[in-house]
Structure 1
Amino acid sequence: MKVVVIGAVAGGSTVASQIRRVLPNAEITLIGREKKIGYGTCGLPYVIGGLIEDETKVGGPSPHKFGEKRDISMLTRHEATSIDRESKTVEIQNLDTDEIFTRSYDKLILSTGGKSRVPEIKGLGKLPLITLKSYTDMEYILKFIEREKPKSCAIIGGGFIGIELAENFRRLGLKTAIIERNDRVMKAMDKDISDILYKEMVDNGVEFYFNDGIERVEDTKLIMKNGMNFEVDFIAASIGIIPNTSLAESIGLTIGETKGIVVNDYMQTNDPDIYAIGDVAETSDWHTGKPKRVQLAWHAHRQAYIVASHLSENPVKINGFLGSTITKLFSLTAGMTGHSEQSLTDEGIEFETVTYQGRTNAGYYPDHGTIDLRVHYDRNSRLLLGGQAVGDKGVDKRIDVIATAMMGNMTVDDLAALELSYSPPYSSPKDPVNMLGYKAK
């Protein structure tokens, strides 16, 4: 079997490796635009801020060693320019030499990822506008900061990447402002949680411009729509990702309402010999079954496993996704899984919410922390629908327990009976997750 994988970051490099594991005789080609493969995209902000001092730590494996060890034909600094579904061939261009050639396939996997959405700003001129999506982007930002030694910046967008950039720019001593068109930061989370994150950022020197945007730029001055103008040395845009579907569209693959490539339970597109994974794939929501596109590393790795299993004739169906995610913000950690208050309201689902605010572990233990934890549950069935938390320790554990409980179709009352590990450094005799169950009763 000839397998061609287009895209060599999280999804592409993982699926190629997984396929080699289950199909030892397959002929595998992996195509990537960058010199790097399988790099740690989620670690890039922390390299910029100096928390990760050695950028090579997130640089992924050596393409040569990766290909040699797994017997995979590596085509880095190459781009797939067209696909012929009838002849089952891919046209490939060498980005360094411009050489063009073709590879045939029996099965084709699209892991083409996405690109940062770039805002149109009047009068931008020479004021640098950066985005962070790739290892190349990170290298550019590092060189820019070293060369220009900026003192201030504005970040457009207060979502996960925006707040991570804000923390790391502040670590570098940059005067940092977030411009957010909504009325609060981290709109994906419940207001009570995002309010805590907002305070943490203000306490660490981040400025905010809510319900606002850049009207135009005059030299280095941002002329804001609401009239509060200020100067910066550069702008960072973090306003979402556009899936790279141009190849898929050019050959008639179905694009869904989330702008991703529609796939079935085995990650197959409407062409059964072509699969799609990662940022570019449209899957479904765990609770509603409606189309959902999750742009996170765990999901790309799971999808890679689903594809490899299907090709080896040991099919495993993909589950709907909860969208579990977590982030660090200065001294706090914030995480969520499943639906928020807003998304449940938008879906017309009747729900109740139970909250816990208190210690993460025994108060008499020297290293105890605090946590704000909440779950949403169905008003009638009492099944869990979503969970969120923010605190200075133990957030990851609680969100993961709640995600597991949701996938086990547990009710909010079942949380009280969960037998969770206890020792004073880690928890209390009744864990915060248990407390949610007791309070819901």
Structure 2
Amino acid sequence: MIVGGVAAGMKAAAVCRRRSPDANITVFQDEDDISYSACGMPYHLEDSEEIPREKLVARTAEKFRADGVDVRTGCRVEAVDTAAKRLTVRNLSDDTVSTSSYDRLLIATGARAIQARLEIGDRAPQMLQLRSLGDADRIRAALPEVGAAVVVGGGYIGLEMAEALRHRGTAVTLVEMAPRLLPAFDEDIAARLLQELERNGVTARCGRKVIAARDGQVELDSGDSIACDLVLLCTGVRPNVGLAEAMGLELGPTGAIKVDARMATSVPDVYAAGDCCEATHVVSNTPVWYPLGDIASRQGRVAGTNLAGGEEAFTGVLGTAIFRAFEHVVARTGLSKQQAEDAGFDPVDIAYSAPSRAKYMPASRNLTVSLVVDRATTRLLGAQVDGADGVDKCVDILATAIWAKLPVDALRDLDLAYAPPFSPLLAPVQIGGELGKRAVSA
């Protein structure tokens, strides 16, 4: 039995079916949609003709059913008796309740949106959030009547939706209660991102909180009001662990479900995967919670293997992440300097700029790179990259180096592809290897 039918749950179902052709596999999903790309929803909302809804669905419920996976959409698991190995399930379409028994159970309930606390009065603008494909449908239906929008929250989804709305011609104000955007990134990266937003017509109000919505506007804690037709709530997410807590599953220090390398929980024959559970950071060896689709898929693969009686271990995470706001791309992997200090390292940080391609090529743009290196071992611990070109290639090389526990000077000797249209003679990561070696030797 699998509770949850998006990235982790459906990956587990597919892997379990391949490894165990005769197993009875049932997936309960409280939404009408399964196996969709939540990360792709902002781009679908920007241009639903170029990226239609159906392209976000990796595999339909009908295709899973054709392969013998019993997919039950619109069904919410309300309780689990772990002693009796029995689920209580409510069908949301007719409100009937049934029970199902399991041999092994996977909890893949994902993350839930943090609800914004604000006063809602008469004639308030329409207020929507973006967590599910159903949410995307509601936003898409509202957009033709939206001339001005307020996006509440400056995380990845909020920033991507600000871009999507601007490309549609909507006036956008982004309100972030933190003093600056992207607190997980260095301040200079956040400052460059803010400049990019403003250059493209997004008004950003950092250090401010929306406290009320009424009379066709929102009110900020500063006393200012912003007129708008739509308030898009992108105020972050938390692990969706209500069911897990009721079952008695142990939660970790992050507030997500604690699992071992096999994705097994504290209760026998119960596994967890995806945004509802923790992972172990490869560098710090500490529990972390990163609600990212690629991590959920990898955990689902491991859980599916072990549900089918196999033996596979999840090898951990670096928290590698990348996103784009208009023409500016930012990415990170591994530990920040502060995180490295907290983990007991003696970190040195190195910041530099380098061209993404040969300087004379028209498409070449400057990349800004920040490396975190352990002084004692010269091991590369973390990196941040931003720019308009080549960020993805650079951060992926650095993530691979961190995963392999390479010393920073090993970057100098990497045999990377070179031709002027694609890379400078010395790639940005190779320059970082030389600068990093000098920094730890000083």
TM-score tier by shorter-chain length is: over 0.9
1:149-185 deviation line (CA, Å, top 9, x unaligned): 1111111211111111111111111111111122211
Instruction: Please say which of residues 108-117 and 347-356 is displaced more in the overlay.
Output: 347-356
Kept in 2, the 8 Å contact 1:152–1:232? The answer is yes
Matched with 1:197 is: 193
**In structure 2, what is the equivalent of residue 50 of structure 1?**
47
CA drift of 1:96 comes to 1.1
Question: 1:347 deviation in Å?
Answer: 4.8
Q: Which residue of 2 aligns with 1:132?
A: 130
C-alpha distance in structure 2 between counterparts of 1:257 and 1:63, whole Å: 35
Structure 2 SS opposite 1:261: coil
Q: Which of 248, 265, 268 is 2:264 aligned to?
A: 268
Q: Counterparts of 1:197-236 in structure 2 under 5 Å?
A: 197-236=193-232
Correspondence list, 1:232-381, <5 A? 232-345=228-341, 347=343, 349-381=345-377
Partner AA of 1:66 in structure 2: F
Rounded to whole Å, the distance in 2 between the matches of 1:331 and 1:337 is 21
> Counterpart of 1:139 in structure 2: which amino acid?
D
**Residue 112 of structure 1 pairs with residue 141 of structure 2:** no
In terms of mean alpha carbon deviation, does 231-240 or 130-139 score higher? Answer: 231-240
Structure 1 residue 312: deviation in Å? Answer: 4.4
For residue 2 of structure 2, the aligned residue among 2, 5, 11 is: 5
C-alpha spacing 1:213/1:342, structure 2 compared with 1 (3 Å):
farther
* Separation in structure 2 between the aligned mates of residue 224 and residue 73 of structure 1, nearest angstrom: 48
Number of equivalenced pairs: 435
**CA separation in 2, counterparts of 1:62 and 1:310?**
24
Amino acid at match of 2:268: P
Q: Distance in 1 between matches of 2:23 and 2:3?
A: 16
- 1:430 equivalent in structure 2: 426
Match of 1:167 among 135, 144, 163: 163
Aligned AA (2:126): P
1:178 aligns with 2:169: no
Larger CA deviation: 101-110 vs 231-240? 231-240
Matched with 1:143 is 141
For residues 79 and 312 of structure 1, the distance between their equivalents in structure 2, rounded to whole angstroms, comes to 24
Secondary structure of the corresponding residue to residue 196 of structure 1: helix
Structure 2: runs of 5+ lacking an equivalent: none
Equivalents in 1 of 2:92, 2:286: separation in Å?
A: 39
Asked if 2 retains the 8 angstrom alpha-carbon contact of 1:5 and 1:108, the reply is yes
Distance across 2 between alignment mates of 1:124 and 1:394: 47
Superposed CA deviations along residues 293-337 of structure 1, whole A, max 9, x for unmatched, are 111111111111212333445422222311111112111221111
2:408 alignment partner in structure 1: 412
8 Å Cα contact 1:159/1:187 also seen in 2? no
Cα 1:124–1:361 shift into 2, 3 Å: farther
Deviates more, 1:338-347 or 1:204-213: 338-347
SS at match of 1:337: strand
Q: 1:402 aligns with which of 398, 401, 405?
A: 398
Q: CA RMSD in A?
A: 1.6
SS in 2 for 1:278: coil
Cα distance in 1 for partners of 2:14, 2:397 equals 30
Whether the 8 Å CA contact 1:356–1:432 is kept in 2: the answer is no
Work out the CA distance in 2 between the residues paired with 1:385 and 1:145: 43
Q: CA deviation at 1:89?
A: 1.3
Once the two structures are TM-superposed, the CA of residue 283 in structure 1 deviates from its matched residue by 2.0
Q: What CA distance in whole angstroms lies between the structure 2 residues aligned with 1:344 and 1:174? A: 41
User: SS of 1:262's equivalent?
Assistant: coil
Structure 1 residues 349, 231: CA separation in 2 closer, same or farther (over 3 Å shift)?
Answer: farther
Query: For residues 34-91 of structure 1, what are the alpha-carbon distances to aligned partners after superposition, in whole Å with 9 as ceiling and x for unaligned?
Result: 22110011000011111744222113322112221x2111111111121111111112
Structure 1 vs Structure 2: percent identity of aligned residues? 30
In structure 1, stretches of 5+ residues that fail to align are none
- Where 1:343 maps in the other structure, the secondary structure is helix
Task: Please give the alpha-carbon distance, in whole angstroms, between the structure 2 residues aligned to 1:308 and 1:276.
Answer: 10
Q: Could you report, residue by residue, the CA deviation over 1:391-430 in whole angstroms, capped at 9, with x for unpaired residues?
A: 1121111111111101111111111111111111111221
Aligned match for 1:79, one of 51, 76, 93 = 76
User: 1:341, 1:159 → 2: CA distance?
Assistant: 21
SS in structure 2 opposite 1:281? coil
TM-score (norm 1): 0.95
Say whether 1:91 aligns with 2:88: yes
Distance 1:321 1:74 in 2: 30
Q: SS of the residue aligned with 2:275?
A: helix
